[in-house]
Amino acid sequence: MAEAEGGSEQDDVSFLRTEDMVCLSCTATGERVCLAAEGFGNRHCFLENIADKNIPPDLSQCVFVIEQALSVRALQELVTAAGSETGNFHYHHNHLAQKTANVAV
């Protein structure tokens, strides 16, 4: 029984579902930045600096809502295919109000 529960928890961590919120961050430059966009549905993205402790980042610009279900691996492949210069990804899930995946590119 415990194994079955552990398996479903693993599935919950491995897959993103419709309406999940995803936050992407880039560490290739050595600076702490997040990928951000102005407004919903905007395809123009920019890097939001999150290193300055005196000025907190506007994280509302850094969260993306998934329109279709996909695995975290599929999301990583999409980001890589979009022109990422590094193939090293690290991610963790934070279960607060909604699941948020932090993906370091």
pLDDT tens per residue, the chain (105 residues)? 344 444 555 555 566 666 666 665 555 666 676 666 666 665 666 777 777 767 776 766 666 666 666 666 776 676 666 554 443 333 333 322 223 344 433
> Would 1 be classed as within a structural domain?
no
> Would 28 be classed as within a structural domain?
yes
> Would 90 be classed as within a structural domain?
no
Residue pair 95/55 in contact (Cβ under 8 Å)? The answer is: no
CATH number at residue 66: 2.80.10.50
**What predicted TM-score, i.e. pTM, was given to this entire model?**
0.35
Containing 103, the helix (H) or strand (E) segment is strand 99-104
> Would 15 be classed as within a structural domain?
no
> Would 2 be classed as within a structural domain?
no
Residue 4: what pLDDT? 46
**Domain encompassing residue 28:** 20-85+96-104
Strands 33-37, 99-104: parallel, antiparallel or unpaired by DSSP? Answer: unpaired
Number of domains present in the structure of the chain:
1
